[in-house]
A and B are shown apart, each in its own frame.
Chain A
Amino acid sequence: MSATPAVAWREVCKSYPDGHQALRGVSLEVAAGECLAVLGTSGSGKTTLLKMVNRLIEPTSGAVLVRDVPTSEWEPIALRRSIGYVIQDAGLMPHLDILANVGLGLRVQGRPRAERDEEARERLELVGLDPSRFARLRPHQLSGGQRQRVGVARALAADPDLILMDEPFGALDPITRRELQDEFRRLQRRLGKTVVFVTHDIREACRIADRLALVAHGRLVQHGRAVDLLERPTHDFVRAFFREAEAIDAVTEKEGP
């Protein structure tokens, strides 16, 4: 990785006043245009790692660099506006229609209405939602999968080069999840965005990401391509993670159609 990384964590630690240590010295990089999956069980520190990128959480020590600039030197509002952010359940505004939700990031940046509506329609088409059908609906009138597509469209609205995703497909049923994963992967390849993707689902990670970073108890356990992790696990924990997934696959294959 000779080029400047899009995001870099340098010896990042996070501890809370109650003594809990969420991260204990993590160093990691994401290259521009790469999709990195941060994989871990709940409480592993993976979400903390993600939220440091857009300064929703500040590190206790160490540094996070975005486009080679430490986040501490970024103005938080400007930093967040330059990064797409997708969360579980989408976090759509229930009082705004779909078009307004997608264009919200542009609205808070003061872009004129006509312009942001046009951009929003374009993004809706990109994520496979027909603007003429969905533009004027409210979030509660959509299915979970459709809402998450809107969440992705919103993150893409301001055309950021970097997108953070926090278990975006976690609350969806398996079929919808699979569908969205595949579509998202195609979209990411096509647009060439840098993506940091947090999940606890190893199959999802393998399907979407170029590289995996496995986090446990606030430490980076192993990182590399999925196939490297599978063939040369450096840690029992990595093996356990894959075994678990295989067991589930075996069951679903037996019972599946």
Chain B
Amino acid sequence: MTGLLDLAWSERRALLAATAAHLDLVVEALALAVALGVPLGILATRSRAAERAVVGLANVLQTVPSLALLGFLLSVFGGQIGKPPARAALVVYALLPIIKNTILGLRSIDRGVAEAALGLGMTAWQRLTVVELPLAVPILLGGVRVATVASVGMATIAAAIGAKGLGSYIFRGVALADTRLILLGSIPAALLALACDAALGEIERALDPTRPRHSRPRAALAIVAVLGLLGLAAWGWWADRPAWSRGPSIVIGSKDGGEMLLLGHMLADLVEAHAGVTVDRRFNLGGTLVCYNALRRGGLDAYLEYTGTALTTILKEPPRNDPAGVLGRVREALARRDGVACLDPLGFENTFVLLMRREQAERLKVRTISDLRRHLGTIRPGFGPEFMNRPDGYPGLVEAYGLDFARAPREMDRNLLYQAVAQGSIDLAAGDSTDGRIVALDLVELEDDRRYFPPYEAVPLVRQETLRRHPALSRALNRLAGKIDARTMRRLNHEVDGFRRDPATVAREFLRSLGLL
């Protein structure tokens, strides 16, 4: 727990900024949802058919799984990452409670009051604005309250598409298997939800004419709290305001995982130091396709990718075994197809490796993957879901080596595999050749004697248009070319995964040690 407090203290500025960005996202989304939901709710009270259509639509939207919705909105927003699609997702989920409570509020108006309004000769518009809406406000606000609390939670997921906020801590915590980071994101999010709930509760109370007024000190406290939350949100907006109101800057992204965070920080640091451009860091994005689509359509200017992943996942071509050929093919195809430049490789190759406990591998005399064939009846394999399904993963491995394991592989999260092998709950795992845990847990990698796993080189992908706008960019990024071999990468990863050090700090130290900063 002290570890958590220390971390929170050292992160206090970033944490506060993340909280502000989080709140800003929620406030903007809620404002939009109210602006959209209240008129829809009013419309729904005008006719049965309208109500069926509106409530039906809101219900359907509510049931769309959040990741599917985020993915869909990413393509709607043309690959733009960050706030716009995240905000849209929150609006979609906030609509239902707001619409429903608008309808409920308008329907719950006392019949005598409604009749008196008619009898006074009010027009439909006057009845709505002078009587119905003001009286529906307390119930309507109840809906806003429900939607707000849910949105504070939902907004954490938006980190997967690069929205700033507390979710980035949670995703980083998951990527680095660091509980402290997860708590660092979750606890403020929970507190924020409680604060918003209480603040809206106070507003709801103040607007309800039949409830007694608060004492002055309590009313003042409530006003200060509401203004404080709005101020925090405004600061969050200011810090993340649209690019047109800031100096020259580019957006660098990264996929999830410790290695990607490290390399992302290195690229960003180099750009800031040598190209005179500020960098908006959108790290830990949810996967290859999120990053690449954002890059292709202008939401990102650069991120780091592996050539093999580009070949199989982006270009959807079969895996190949010659690194130079893969790089050439990827470079040519991405430039021609999408206007994306592929800079020079960083040096190391990242590939799948099969891992065993050192003690067991020595006892069974297993040195190469072929050696496994002597122990097919007893070995207990375990793989991650991606490896199980990729053409250059398990299916091809079985074919290439004739590995017919007697026990079906256990499928588990790839971040848990290393620990599982080390503790003996499985005997064989597929991991990343550069993962620091190979060193930390004293695992041995089996030689790929038939050269089955294609070697993947790490290369920065940059939009050609961005390179034209910032001519110094490609030189700045290429300073890292050939500077990181597999051993170095493994050591750096171990700093982050094993010693739980901050990827940004480790990246900066490494660049300084090379004299690049």
Contacts and interface: CB of A to CB of B under 8 A. Distances in A.
Interface in B118-158: 118-123, 126, 130-131, 134-135
Interface string A101-123: 00011011100000000000000
B116 A108 contact: no
A108 B115 contact: no
Interface stretch (A62-70, A81-89, A199-207, A245-253): A81-89
Contacts of B135: 93-95
A229 interface: no
B210 interface: yes
A140 B210 contact: yes
Contacts of B126: 108
Nearest to B211: A140
A209 interface: no
A77 interface: yes
A108 B113 contact: no
A108 B130 contact: yes
B118 A56 contact: yes
A192 interface: no
In order of increasing CB-CB distance, the 6 nearest A-B pairs are A91-B116, A85-B119, A81-B121, A80-B121, A91-B112, A95-B209
A44 interface: no
Contact of B116 (A81, A82, A92, A95): A92
B6 interface: no
Residue among A108, A140, A154 with the most chain B CB within 10 A?
A: A108
A104 B210 CA distance: 19
Interface on chain A toward B: helix, strand, loop, or mixed SS?
mixed
B516 to A, nearest CB: 66
A77 B127 CA distance: 12
B112 A80 contact: no
Contact of B120 (A81, A89, A94, A138): A81
B210 A94 contact: yes
A105 B116 CA distance: 10
Interface of A: 54, 56, 76-83, 85, 87-95, 104-105, 107-109, 138, 140, 151, 154, 164
B112 A108 contact: no
B113 A77 contact: no
A91 B130 contact: no
Given A80-B120, A108-B122, A93 B115 contact: no
B115 A77 contact: no
Contacts of B413: none
A200 B438 CA distance: 92
Contacts of A93: 113, 116-117, 130-131, 135
A83 B118 CA distance: 12
A81 B117 CA distance: 11
Contacts of A56: 115, 118-119
Contact of A87 (B112, B123, B210): B112
Nearest to A100: B130
A91 B121 contact: no
B119 to A, nearest CB: 3
A107 B134 CA distance: 16
A91 B113 contact: yes
A58 to B, nearest CB: 13
Interface of B: 110, 112-113, 115-123, 126, 130-131, 134-135, 209-210
Given A92-B116, A94-B209, A95-B209, A105 B110 contact: no
Nearest to B137: A95
B155 to A, nearest CB: 33
A89 B119 contact: no
A89 B117 CA distance: 14
Given A95-B135, A108-B130, A138-B209, A54 B116 contact: no
Contacts of A76: 121
Contact of B118 (A78, A80, A154): A80
Contacts of B134: 95
Contacts of A77: 121-123
A140 B118 CA distance: 21
6 contacts: A77-B123, A80-B118, A80-B119, A82-B121, A94-B113, A108-B121
A192 to B, nearest CB: 22
Given A76-B121, A77-B123, A108-B122, 6 more contacts: A80-B121, A81-B121, A85-B120, A91-B113, A91-B119, A95-B209
A91 B115 contact: yes
A78 B121 CA distance: 7
Nearest to B113: A91
A49 to B, nearest CB: 15
Contacts of A95: 134-135, 209
Contacts of A154: 120
B114 to A, nearest CB: 8
A75 to B, nearest CB: 10
B130 to A, nearest CB: 7
Contacts of B113: 91-94
Contacts of B115: 56, 87, 91
B501 to A, nearest CB: 58
Nearest to B209: A95
Contacts of A80: 118-121
A88 B210 contact: no
B104 to A, nearest CB: 17
Nearest to A105: B120
Contact of A105 (B121, B123, B131): B121
A99 to B, nearest CB: 14
Contacts of B123: 77, 108
A93 B121 CA distance: 15
Contacts of B130: 93, 104, 107-108
A140 B121 contact: no
A9 B366 CA distance: 106
B112 A90 contact: yes
Contact of A89 (B112, B121, B122): B112
Contacts of A87: 112, 115-116, 119
Residue among A76, A78, A79, A87 with the most chain B CB within 10 A?
A: A87
A87 B118 CA distance: 12
A151 B113 CA distance: 11
B112 A88 contact: yes
Contacts of A140: 209-210
Contacts of B121: 76-82, 105, 108-109
